[in-house]
Amino acid sequence: MDEIPEGEAVSAKPLDSILWTHIMIQILAWGIIYPTGMVLGIVHSRWHVPVQILGTVLAVVGYFLGHAHKGRQFAKNVHASFANWLMFFLLAQVLVGIYLRLHLEKGGHARIRRYVVATHGVMGKTLPVISWVQMLFGGITALGFCRGDHLGQCLAHFIMGSAFIGYGIILTILLLVGQYWLKRSGRSQEFFDSLLIAAWGCVNTFTEHRWGGPWVKNDIQHTSMGVVWWCAGLLGVYLSRKRDGRPKRNLFPALVIILTGWGMSAHPQSLELSTHVHTVFGYTLMAAGAVRVIEIAFVLKDRNTVDEKNFEETSSFQYLTPFLLYTSGFLFMGATEEQMALLAGAHVTHVSYILILFSISFLLFLFVIMLLHLYAAHVWPVDRNPVVLPKVNGRAVGNGHLRGDSQRLRDVEEFELEGLMSDEEDARYHRRVSSSSSSGAGRRKENGRPG
């Protein structure tokens, strides 16, 4: 601590090998292994426990390495404080997991088991989010950023950038594995998008300016952007349903993204490098909105999917919007005043920096898609030997979709309920599903169609 200059957050020494090892191990454990284990847990794979054990061992080793390094020293910081809470969270998750593995299902255990399973699931799905926050804290701490007058600007960039990335991940989930849930909800995707935009706009309207104080720098632009969000969000919510109550798609969430990108591209900056990065960020965000408009209006033609009888059909064009949102998030998070000053001092050009951020976006998009394919491969395995149905006058007779929408929806319901039901409830559920399937087959036979 004595090596840290007055008014600074870090010493002048470089990061030593122990601290670099800490960084690499923690990225591997929290950023790759735990999310993979989470998906394996959701699909009830036998590899869930071994993968999570490996992640826990690495996380514990990395935690102690973070306290054993030499080289650069740090003042009191949020990364170190949050690490203790994160390890406590991990310990609680491990203990809950051990309890569930003991399969205590008699007496009082039977009554509380469903709640313990639900708690374990919620904690497991929360882990990647708080891991992301801790990794951001780590990068900020390593460079000694986001202190004093820079704190507010840092919060705005990292929160908003993470929100864009999170929105992109949600769109990716809905695109690849979420269409059955969306159909069951009875809402269009724009209903949820507009609701979130309206809520976020309300927050921005009242937090981007210190009310009662003078309007400084970009307060008016940030506040007006918040007003546009909640106004457009309310309109999008209203237009997301037809008069008869059926869900309907609309373009207003995409229009909000375009307006936000336009506003950000014209954001005044003090450094030329920062101006270039903000401009590309704005253009990328505008491109995400424009691509979304084309997707809904011309590719899908107001449908939820390319093929409403086969939700797994995805147009290659549909991948562009979420990817551009990922990239927009990284561009905005990487455009804080301190980062721009550091890069300008190192004579890094905006072209090189932007290409690096695009590369990171490609890798994250790849990782998310791989996790979703892992989930889909377990929940809806591909039938490589489909039954060839008889044809009459060149057309197939009978039910061409052997695993139709109703079956897929039942699959989703089973995965959501598995582990929450006792053995007796589970047996009743499967008897009900079997009875429903049998009665459906009987009706098809009565109508002269094969089951």
Give me the tens of pLDDT residue by residue for the chain, a chain 451 residues long: 567 888 788 998 999 999 999 999 999 999 999 999 999 999 999 999 999 999 999 999 999 999 999 999 999 999 999 999 999 999 999 999 999 999 888 888 888 999 999 999 999 999 999 999 999 999 999 999 999 888 888 998 999 999 999 999 999 999 999 888 888 898 999 999 999 999 989 988 887 766 777 877 677 888 888 999 999 999 999 999 999 989 999 999 999 999 999 998 887 788 999 999 999 999 999 999 999 999 999 999 988 776 666 666 789 999 999 999 999 999 999 999 999 999 999 999 999 999 999 999 999 999 999 999 999 999 887 766 655 444 444 444 444 444 455 555 555 555 544 544 445 555 555 555 555 555 555 555 455 544 4
pLDDT of residue 264: 87
Q: Which helix (H) or strand (E) holds 395?
A: strand 395-396
Are 189 and 344 within 8 A, CB to CB?
no
Are 166 and 332 within 8 A, CB to CB?
no
CA 364 vs CA 7, 79, 289, 368, 401: distances in Å: 36, 22, 20, 6, 34
Q: Computed over its alpha carbons, how large is the radius of gyration of the chain? A: 26
Q: Where in the chain is the domain with CATH 1.20.120?
A: 1-144
What are residue 391's DSSP bridge partners? Answer: 396
Assign a CATH topology to domain 1-144: Four Helix Bundle (Hemerythrin (Met), subunit A) (1.20.120)
pLDDT of residue 148: 87
Q: What secondary structure letter does DSSP report for 420?
A: T
Give the global pTM. 0.85
pLDDT of residue 216: 73
| SS3 letters across 285-331 | HHHHHHHHHHHHHHHCCCCCCCCCCCCCCCCHHHHHHHHHHHHHHHH
Q: Which amino acid is at 101?
A: R
pLDDT of residue 411: 57
pLDDT of residue 400: 44
268 by DSSP, 3-state: which? coil
CA atoms within 13 A on the CB side of 7: 1
Which residue do the tokens 């292994």 mark? 33
Are 201 and 180 within 8 A, CB to CB?
no
The backbone region for 14, taken as left when phi is positive above 0, alpha when psi lies in -120 to 50, beta otherwise, is: beta
pLDDT of residue 140: 96
The dihedral formed by the CA atoms of 47, 53, 56 and 57, expressed in degrees to the nearest 10: -130
pLDDT of residue 66: 94
